[in-house]
Structure 1
Amino acid sequence: MVSHGTAKAKRAGPQRARRDEDKEARRQLILAETQALYTATSYAEVKMADVAERSKLAKGTVFLYFPTKEALFLALLGDLLFAWLEKLEAQLGGTEDRWTGAKVARTVAESLEGEETLTRLLALRQTVLEQNVTVEQVRGFQERLLAAGGRVGALLEKRLAFLKRGEGGHFFIHVHALMTGLRQLADVAPVTREMLDLPHMAPLRVDFTPELTDALTTLLRGLEAR
């Protein structure tokens, strides 16, 4: 004979799982609509009310998932960043063959093609997105970044014979700095873009992927030549 308590527990299990799935689906919906708005406009122009409207949710419901706009965008950044890092790990992994610095630089830069939203958000991380969130939210983000950066750093050290133990992670910090800085230079305002289209302004134009490839190649050549 099954006790009432056991039967209740069995019913609660699937119901709880479905509720968790529904919550995650709603979270992903909110993040997807936020990304769509941000891609079409800018951080300043995205309003929580607009996110709620696009998601067909009450504004209060959005705030239940993300208590501040900064928390919402930090979560979006996290999803994009760690998906990219997972992709980069796969590209750097595989056999134990050594690579040239130029090949590593090209692989890293080309892995960011189509990731403009990610690189734009990274440029806002310290100055905007981590300013109105809880310590717990930032800690969770940083812990994941530490772990992922460590894995990527270790793969870089396996690929590049001239990198010493621990230098892969330090190089990855330089990658972060270069990709955010070059994205800011490449992502210009419409009026500036119009000016840069003038032939004599060509030296000021920044094409993100080639510029990042060149910058990383130069950095790695310097490390190899020590």
Structure 2
Amino acid sequence: MRSQRPTTLTRTRSLVGLRARSEQDKDLRRGDLVRAASELFAGSDFDGVTIAQVAQRAGVAKGTAYLYFSCKEALFLELVQTELLLWEQDLHTCLAPLSTECATNALAATIARTLAKRPTLGRLLVLLHPVIEPSLALDTARSFKEFLLAFIGRISALLATKVPELGATASVTFILQVHALVISVTQLAHPPAVIAAVLDHDPRLHPMRISFEPFMAETLSTLLRGTLQTQKQT
């Protein structure tokens, strides 16, 4: 009996299946590299993490890592986006129990608490503008800013459901202010060892020692109240 040749439809389905599996494998490999970078970064700093170390931890060759990320900065940019999306999920979950028109103190405390749970995000945002972004290719930079635009839109819409009087424009501005505060407060709360030693040694300097979450909550609460007051006056 003559064997039947695969039909065009069969061959097409087979190619589609292979392509799908290939894309799934790429996504998994990409995710493995990002997780490896996150784990290494948790115990080191940006300069202390290399693509070779990331590749080894992810179980791939160094050359393979470069097929996914053109440079270490591009890899860390992916980590920034991953951390932002995880924070967004946390924020949704933690804001859900709050009623509409909730107190500004409760909203500020919730934002501060969810940020404090993600110290890696704070450390990455400190690096984002001076270290990561300058090394990006134009297309990567544009794609990242489009990601941020959509991200800020979702977060501002979420905040508007809790504080309707905040308004769309003020909500976007507030999210950008949160971004700036995370960068500055992260550095204030986690100074270099030499600065921490100086602050600890001299009681007069103790007021300069801050804890991230309470300082962030108080600052955001003050900022929100001021923003809402301004909204009422305009």
TM-score (norm 1): 0.92
Which structure is higher in helix share? 2
Distance in 2, Cα, partners of 1:156 & 1:69: 34
Q: Which residue of 2 aligns with 1:210?
A: 214
Corresponding position: 1:183 with 2:186: yes
The 5-angstrom pairing of residues 146-157 of structure 1 reads 146-157=149-160
The 5-angstrom pairing of residues 9-88 of structure 1 reads 9-88=12-91
Structure 1 range deviating more: 207-216 or 48-57: 48-57
Indicate if the aligned counterparts of 2:156 and 2:171 stay in contact, CA closer than 8 A.
yes
Q: Which residue of 1 aligns with 2:129?
A: 126
| Cα distance, 1:79 vs structure 2 | 0.9
| Cα distance, 1:156 vs structure 2 | 1.8
| Cα distance, 1:24 vs structure 2 | 1.0
Distance in 2, Cα, partners of 1:207 & 1:125: 22
Structure 1 range deviating more: 111-120 or 83-92: 83-92
**Compared CA separation, residues 3 and 135, structure 1 to 2 (3 A):** same
| Cα distance, 1:93 vs structure 2 | 4.8
Q: Work out which of the two has the higher radius of gyration on C-alpha atoms and give 1 or 2.
A: 2
Q: Among the aligned pairs, what percent are the same residue?
A: 34
Q: Which residue of 2 aligns with 1:221?
A: 225
| Cα distance, 1:2 vs structure 2 | 8.1
Distance in 2, Cα, partners of 1:15 & 1:152: 37
Distance in 1, Cα, partners of 2:139 & 2:99: 38
Q: Which residue of 2 aligns with 1:143?
A: 146
Distance in 2, Cα, partners of 1:194 & 1:9: 67
Distance in 2, Cα, partners of 1:175 & 1:72: 24
Distance in 2, Cα, partners of 1:179 & 1:10: 49
Measured against aligned partners, the alpha-carbon deviations of 1:17-55 in whole angstroms (never above 9, x if no partner) come to 211111111111111111111110100111111112222
**Contiguous gaps of at least 5 residues in structure 2:** none
Task: Give the total of aligned pairs.
Answer: 226
| Cα distance, 1:3 vs structure 2 | 5.5
- Give SS of 1:130's match: helix
- Aligned letter for 1:65? Y
The 5-angstrom pairing of residues 105-120 of structure 1 reads 105-120=108-123
Indicate if the aligned counterparts of 1:162 and 1:223 stay in contact, CA closer than 8 A.
no
**Compared CA separation, residues 220 and 33, structure 1 to 2 (3 A):** same
TM-score (norm 2): 0.89
Measured against aligned partners, the alpha-carbon deviations of 1:42-97 in whole angstroms (never above 9, x if no partner) come to 00111111112222211111111001111010011111112212332343357862
Q: Which residue of 2 aligns with 1:158?
A: 161
- Aligned letter for 1:215? T
- Aligned letter for 1:10? R
- Aligned letter for 1:205? R
Distance in 2, Cα, partners of 1:165 & 1:65: 37
Structure 1 range deviating more: 103-112 or 84-93: 84-93
